[in-house]
A and B are shown apart, each in its own frame.
Chain A
Amino acid sequence: DTEVTQTPKHLVMGMTNKKSLKCEQHMGHRAMYWYKQKAKKPPELMFVYSYEKLSINESVPSRFSPECPNSSLLNLHLHALQPEDSALYLCASSQDDRGQGGYTFGSGTRLTVV
């Protein structure tokens, strides 16, 4: 298995909803990442988990809450989002947080906040 799987692929949510994005990999990678990508812009790093511990939080608002239940899973809990949070949310993983072997990206969750 050489993939990063993200679910759901599409999500529409209201500003008062609570939802979660899920990411899974079975490559034995010990670092996992959340990125946010707006149209025609590069991905922007949100969070880094290394060995299941949060190592980087790029000043992301608290309405985004990451969780790493185990080395294969990464969640992003969403609450009280704003329309400007609509974007493609990408999960990525690498062998370790030094990026050994490159970063493998999931296909993303396209989020629309209404």
Chain B
Amino acid sequence: GQNIDQPTEMTATEGAIVQINCTYQTSGFNGLFWYQQHAGEAPTFLSYNVLDGLEEKGRFSSFLSRSKGYSYLLLKELQMKDSASYLCAVRSEDNYGQNFVFGPGTRLSVLP
């Protein structure tokens, strides 16, 4: 099975930097995804890591350490519209096939 953990809630100030952590335990790891989800809307894809290291995409960066079962999403120059839930999702494969499981999500509130 898989076990994915994220902080439940975080608060940050507009213009600041925030790091959202995700830890996971799984066998057959085959990729980690970050999604943003505004209340009542569908998740939107932010980033994908399958190798160790940092992936940068504009104001968003995602880091992965496979040996530590750890990832983080870094949001820079926070804007009010970044207030949303951020979901870490882990893909893995075992003898029964592919699994794609979301973590519990981190609800980020950006304050003026």
Contacts and interface: CB of A to CB of B under 8 A. Distances in A.
Interface string A73-114: 000000000000000101000000111001111111010000
Interface in B97-112: 97-105, 107
A99 B33 contact: yes
A70 B32 CA distance: 29
A103 B45 contact: yes
Given A42-B104, A45-B101, A48-B98, A105 B42 contact: yes
A42 B98 contact: no
Interface residues of B, number: 23
Given A98-B30, A99-B33, A102-B33, A107 B100 contact: no
Interface in B25-48: 30-31, 33, 35, 40-45, 48
A105 B44 contact: yes
Q: From DSSP, what is the main secondary structure of chain B's interface residues?
A: strand
A45 B101 CA distance: 7
Interface in A40-70: 40-45, 48, 55-56
A98 B35 CA distance: 17
Nearest to B101: A45
Contacts, number: 52
Contacts of A107: 41-42
Interface of A: 33, 40-45, 48, 55-56, 88, 90, 97-99, 102-108, 110
15 contacts: A41-B104, A43-B43, A45-B100, A55-B98, A56-B98, A90-B42, A97-B98, A98-B30, A98-B91, A99-B33, A99-B100, A102-B45, A105-B35, A105-B42, A105-B44
Given A48-B98, A98-B98, 10 more contacts: A40-B107, A43-B43, A44-B102, A45-B100, A98-B30, A98-B91, A99-B33, A103-B33, A105-B43, A105-B45
